[in-house]
Amino acid sequence: MAENYRHPISVWGSLARGAVGGFFGVFIFFGYAVYKNPYGIMNLGSFLPFVWIAIVTGLVVGATVWLCGRFRGKSLGVLLRVAVSVVVSFIVAAPYLYLREHPDNVERWWKYSVVFGLGVGSIAGLLSYTTNRSKTDVKAASV
């Protein structure tokens, strides 16, 4: 029974993992943006706000995953974490992307919001979780 015991991590650990996931996830969005417009690589300064939005989105995803795990009473599975984080990152990033793009170009806004939500949300959701194996369980599993 002791090998299945998992202790909760702090909210700060989940926030940090979400922020790191948001930082790494923004490179998926960069890849898509450069694929759609190869000359956009010349204007990397315009991508800097996306890095900050991705980190903030990762923080929000980490907090949401942590809260969902607390309300549920046990750890969320990988698929549920990713699904929740993709939806949350889409909701967080969509208003910014709508204001950044012209309101008359709804199709482009929709594509960018979905790609940003999938890229940032999936990696941030994979990295942020609510429980961790205890040190005694790791020692018992390695022996």
> On the CB side of 119, how many CA atoms lie within 13 Å of its CA?
23
Cα 54 from Cα 29, distance rounded (Å)? 10
H or E element that contains 59? helix 48-72
Q: How does pLDDT run across 89-115, given as a tens digit for each residue?
A: 888 888 887 777 666 777 878 888 888
Measured torsion, CA atoms of residues 76, 128, 138, 10, in degrees rounded to the nearest 10:
-90
Reported as a single tens digit per residue, the pLDDT across 10-59 is: 778 888 888 888 888 888 888 888 888 777 777 777 778 888 888 998 89
Place of tokens 């609510």: 130
CB atoms inside a 10 Å sphere around CB 113: 20
User: Does the reported pTM lie above 0.95?
Assistant: no
pLDDT band at 136; cut points 50, 70, 90:
very low
What are phi and psi for residue 105, nearest 5 degrees? -105, 70
